[in-house]
C-alpha cells in the first residue's frame, strides 16, 4: 500500500514543481512596464463603480446547500454500489428506503422553486 502513496506524492510534487517552475520562469522572462491605468481592473473602459468584494445573490448559497445535502447522500451510494452483489435484494430494499427522503426532498425543492434560475 505504501508504494501507492509514494506514486501519488511524487506526482503531486511533480505537478507543483511544473506549476511553480512555469510561474517562476515567466517571472524571469516577462517584461515589466507597469503604469496606473494598466493595473486597473478591466470594466469595459469605465472606472470600477461597484467593488466586487461585497455580498451577492443568495441564489448561490442555496445551490451550495443543496450540494452539501446531495453529495453527502451520494457518498453513501459508492460503498453500497461496490458491495451490491453481496447485499443482494435486501441491500436494494434498504437503499430504496434510504432514497425516499432524498427524492421527497428533491420534489419539495423543485415545487418550492429552489431549482429555478
Partner 1 sequence: MTEVVLKLLFIVLVVAGGMLPLITWIERKQSAVMQDRIGANRADLMGVTLLGLLHPAADVLKLFSKEDVVPEGANRLLHLLAPVIAFVPALLVLAVIPYGGAYRFGDTTLSLVVADVDWGMLFVFAAGSIATYGAVIAGWASNSNWGLLGSMRASAQMISYEVTMGLSLVGMFMVAGSLRLPEIAAFQDQSFRLLGFLLHMGFVEGETLPFHLDLLRLPMWGIFLQPLGFLLFLTCIMAENKRPPFDAPEGESELIAGYHMEYSGMRFGLFYTAEFLEVPVIGAIVATLFLGGWAIPFLSQETIIAFVAGGFGEGFATGLCLVLHVLCFLTKVAILIWLQMALRWTLPRFRYDQVMDLCWKMILPLSILNVFVTGAGILLVEGVIS
40-99: which residues touch partner 1 (CB under 8 A)?
A: 40-44, 48, 50-53, 56-57, 59-60, 63-64, 66-67, 70-71, 74-75, 77-85, 88-89, 91-92, 95-96, 99
> Of 51, 96, 16, which is closest to residue 104 (Cα–Cα)?
96
| Residue 12 lies near partner 1 (rule: CB under 8 A) | yes
Residues 6+ apart with CB under 8 A from 3: none
Report the site for partner 1 in 21-40 (rule: CB under 8 A): 22-23, 25-27, 29-34, 36, 38-40
| Residue 15 lies near partner 1 (rule: CB under 8 A) | yes
Residues 6+ apart with CB under 8 A from 41: 48, 52
Residues 6+ apart with CB under 8 A from 77: 95
| Residue 104 lies near partner 1 (rule: CB under 8 A) | no
Amino acid at each position: 500500500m505504501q508504494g501507492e502513496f509514494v506514486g501519488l506524492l511524487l506526482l503531486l510534487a511533480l505537478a507543483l514543481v511544473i506549476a511553480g517552475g512555469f510561474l517562476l520562469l515567466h517571472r524571469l522572462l516577462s517584461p515589466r512596464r507597469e503604469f496606473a491605468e494598466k493595473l486597473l481592473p478591466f470594466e469595459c473602459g469605465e472606472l470600477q463603480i461597484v467593488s466586487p468584494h461585497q455580498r451577492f445573490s443568495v441564489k448561490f448559497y442555496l445551490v451550495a446547500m443543496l450540494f452539501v445535502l446531495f453529495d453527502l447522500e451520494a457518498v453513501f451510494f459508492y460503498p453500497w454500489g461496490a458491495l451490491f452483489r453481496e447485499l443482494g435484494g435486501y441491500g436494494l430494499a434498504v437503499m430504496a428506503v434510504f432514497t425516499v427522503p432524498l427524492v421527497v426532498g428533491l420534489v419539495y425543492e423543485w415545487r418550492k422553486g429552489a431549482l429555478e434560475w
